[in-house]
Amino acid sequence: MLDQSKIITFKLGTEVVSHPSGRFKNKFLASFVAQTAGSIHQGRHAILTASGAVRSGRPILKKVGWELNKEYELVDKAWASSVGQAKLFCKLESLFKRQGIECCGQVLIHNDFFMNGGNKPRENFLALVNRTFMFKNTILILNQNDPLTNQENEPCSKENPDEVSDNDGTNCLVSMAVAAPLSISVSSFCLHMEDPRRNKNARPIDLINFAGRDNNPIALGINTKGVSCGGTGGMDIKLDRSRQNVQAGVCGERVNYILSPKDVLEGGVERAIAGERVGTRIICERPVGVSIENCPGRKFGCTKAFV
């Protein structure tokens, strides 16, 4: 049986993977892969939900005469994503192989996780995970290309043709399905009180505890609307997906990190795995001395008090 306590899920955002031209950010990817491979060699199981890679796919399609139409329809973005995902997987496979890690890739849609709107993971997805980790030194690389069922596609931005359904939701579903105790998401920025691109002095947030007294979102006065990280999934979506995941396990059992590329280049993946404070750390852990009835986590949808 797979030891779920050793599972780590990762998610890479669009902007951290590639430049606007479609070229990959090689320095970042090399650092991320080296740190992730190190954790695998130490006996951990890694599942990576990769970027939609629309940027990487567009230049390839343009060479054969394809152009985004003026409405930026989702089907066009799905085409670009399909090509870009294959290119990104080949890039990651090459980097991981240099570290002695073999890659298994899979493109998913929502129905690969849950049936009929229920919350029981599909047996075939869990079987895929178990088959992958029967072999030592392997990583499972996932992506999704399901624009018809991804709510983040609505509305679609005509100002930014690179926007396509990102994988925050996919990573959340994966993390909950395999009961991963640790999830690390890399985006353009960790969580700040304001958009750091508009305010260079914006204060970063190092800890959010949905069950904490002073560090839950309401107490911190967090306003995440509009703090986007390149895809359609802004920081409000990333934070909510993290909330769903950390509240899905035993109180205080699961930890999510949101890291920036700078964090990763400075060893942030290794530091997060070691439990250090890096980027934004997100938990849902009831403080000592606080009763279940008075737990702030109940304000954020935590149902453990009623179980």
pLDDT at 161: 34
Question: Which residue did the predictor score with more confidence, 37 or 241?
Answer: 37
- Based on C-alpha coordinates, what's the Rg of the chain? 19
Q: What angle separates helix 54-62 from helix 74-98, to the nearest 10 degrees?
A: 110
- Which band of pLDDT confidence, cut at 50, 70 and 90, is reported for residue 47? very high
Strand partners, 140: 47, 104
Q: Give the Cα separation of 143 and 76 in Å (integer).
A: 17
Rounded to 5°, the CA angle 241-207-195 comes to 70
Q: Which helix (H) or strand (E) is 37 found in, with range?
A: helix 26-41
- On the question of pLDDT at 3 being above 90, the answer is no
Q: Which helix (H) or strand (E) is 127 found in, with range?
A: helix 123-132
SS3 7: strand
Average of per-residue pLDDT values in the chain: 77
Question: Which residue did the predictor score with more confidence, 250 or 129?
Answer: 129
pLDDT at 145: 62
- On the question of pLDDT at 58 being above 80, the answer is no
Nearest C-alpha neighbor of 254 from the set 2, 37, 7, 3: 7
Give per-residue pLDDT as tens, 216-252: 887 777 755 544 333 344 667 778 788 888 888 778 8
The pTM score is 0.84
Residue 265 and residue 27 in contact, taking contact as beta carbons nearer than 8 Å? yes
Domains of the chain in start order, with CATH, are: 4-306 (3.40.1160.10)
Give per-residue pLDDT as tens, 202-211: 777 889 898 8
